[in-house]
Structure 1
């Protein structure tokens, strides 16, 4: 029998390794030994620091409105695993499994753990993808979704705020769409990668007194579109300020708490800004806008094709990479030293 070691958030601010003995495989299951995993920084840090909106409310699946759920959530939200994608090697298969074989490299939406027992239909063969590419399918999905929701036209000016993995992949997708790309971040590591990925103008938001005004000046009137990937209300406010009259702002980041830094009575209202949300995720069953709705599974296949054709690169995105024994330190670094990381990975 194998011992599974998982990285778990026990309560806000407290993550550690939890051990359990794996049960025998069911006929449709496989045993996967992990090789490389990655975190989903924005969403998972809300879980880690206790700021997730799902601590107090849940989305009613029929009405699609948030309703109070605080009593139930506080009993069941924690403990919770961390990490959202893993590449591994199949070590055993159930008697009914035919889609993968022992020794095959696979990937799936799996948390940080040394072993996984999971239904075979929840994993995919790595094929010609590199492990690094596989771990970036998820942020690639949201980057591409944001670009499609924004309906970028050739020659438009686009600002990207929040240069995590999603924002940096969005830089590349915007360039592929023929846009002039402005990008802003207070983190030097991310600004440098944005330049390497083809951004035309990259600003240090810590050195700019008023980002909205500076973008208006540089773009001669404002950008046509902003992809706001930070999930921070002050950045969303600046995104609205940086946009031309009747321009668009697409919210790609996940927001939490009250929007005290966002004033809808100023530029948003008087410049008639269109504010859109982009969330092409399996769990919420949202398509991207367009003549033919595209859902997460379709977007992910498009991202895989772009990786394989080398239209989009992930070089430099996974950093730093921690040993599994240091997984707790990795979480603390993401939370307290975001300027030193882009997309943190765990190797086993």
Structure 2
């Protein structure tokens, strides 16, 4: 991640990173060593994890998928871009990246928008993909379990989609933020009986759909308990290890609950003729730029890249202190 000068090819641009966001979900699984890629190898052909090897090993080089930067150099044949354009995308926690001009020209951020909006392209796409998987209809009740960054975004998008949002999290500040950003009700799981309270709020029916974004098996089990008969729970949380706390012989079995994995490598089959990753990311940025999706309100810390180690430690050990942490490359020798 050293600051190295690059010369773009004729059809490339050099982007100098301004900000890079830390994913407190996926990236912390690598930080903690719980990510399955670090203990097994993902085989693309069979689409199975294979024992006896790894896909990722320490040191993890340049991970990060929440970047925004400024075009510093333009290749001689590059079109549609110019020096100074602010570009959003994914290129890891590094000071510079080389990209095709055709790629960069499709990701130019409105100069009137806070450049930090650009770090939310991937996480915004993940949240939007989750809401598309949930197939929310106007007037339906949507329960969101986990109010980290993707949960906060999913709660806002569910409301934009016509849903009545019940937000669930054990951290008071996250519950309050969800309410401030439009959630109708916020519940503390420490009070117990989340599923019972959701059923009380829905005339005994249960939520029309539950979104699990915490990555916690006990939260997933409560989401299964809280959803209406023959309805779906959409899971975007990155579950780790064995499913301790998930009892599939109970409400899941007796209420015909559908569990749907929402993962950014694909979209729901019913929408794949219209939606893909690029459209998801562009839509998230457009909504954020228009302030229909509130993203900068999720940023709790902006710290120099040189303090990245301390930032990861805080997210790992003191999650109540932070939500979205942003690494700044300004003044870092860029």
| TM-score, L = length of structure 1 | 0.86
1:260 alignment counterpart: 244
2:294 alignment counterpart: 313
Distance in structure 2 (CA, Å) of the matches to 1:263 and 1:331 = 32
Of 1, 16, 19, which aligns to 1:36?
19
Q: Deviations over 1:116-169 (max 9, x none)?
A: 344434532223543132212222211111111111111111100111111111
Matches within 5 A, 1:151-300: 151-206=135-190, 208-221=191-204, 222-279=206-263, 281=264, 284=265, 286-291=266-271, 292-300=273-281
C-alpha deviation, 1:113, in angstroms: 2.5
Of 54, 57, 69, which aligns to 2:40?
57
1:3 alignment counterpart: none
Change (3 A) 1:305 1:142: same
Distance in structure 2 (CA, Å) of the matches to 1:54 and 1:127 = 36
Distance in structure 1 (CA, Å) of the matches to 2:260 and 2:239 = 13
C-alpha deviation, 1:62, in angstroms: 3.4
1:14 alignment counterpart: none
1:16 alignment counterpart: none
1:338 alignment counterpart: 319
Q: Deviations over 1:232-253 (max 9, x none)?
A: 1111011101112112100011
Distance in structure 1 (CA, Å) of the matches to 2:44 and 2:69 = 33
SS in 2 for 1:71: coil
The alignment status of 1:116 with 2:97, answered yes or no, reads: yes
Larger deviation, residues 294-303 vs 20-29: 20-29
Distance in structure 1 (CA, Å) of the matches to 2:85 and 2:130 = 33
Asked if 2 retains the 8 angstrom alpha-carbon contact of 1:57 and 1:66, the reply is: no
SS in 1 for 2:215: coil
C-alpha deviation, 1:225, in angstroms: 0.6
SS in 2 for 1:138: helix
Asked if 2 retains the 8 angstrom alpha-carbon contact of 1:56 and 1:68, the reply is: no
Asked if 2 retains the 8 angstrom alpha-carbon contact of 1:39 and 1:82, the reply is: no
SS in 2 for 1:73: coil
SS in 2 for 1:35: strand
Distance in structure 2 (CA, Å) of the matches to 1:302 and 1:87 = 16
- Aligned residue-pair number: 324
Distance in structure 2 (CA, Å) of the matches to 1:265 and 1:168 = 30
Distance in structure 1 (CA, Å) of the matches to 2:285 and 2:182 = 20
C-alpha deviation, 1:38, in angstroms: 0.7
Structure with more of its chain in strand, by fraction? 1
**Gaps (5+ residues) in structure 2?**
none
Q: Deviations over 1:277-309 (max 9, x none)?
A: 111x3xx3x123435452111112222332243
Of 83, 86, 89, which aligns to 1:102?
83
Q: Deviations over 1:95-129 (max 9, x none)?
A: 33223222222222122233334443453222354
C-alpha deviation, 1:23, in angstroms: 4.7
C-alpha deviation, 1:43, in angstroms: 0.6
Distance in structure 1 (CA, Å) of the matches to 2:39 and 2:317 = 24
Asked if 1 retains the 8 angstrom alpha-carbon contact of 2:26 and 2:238, the reply is: yes
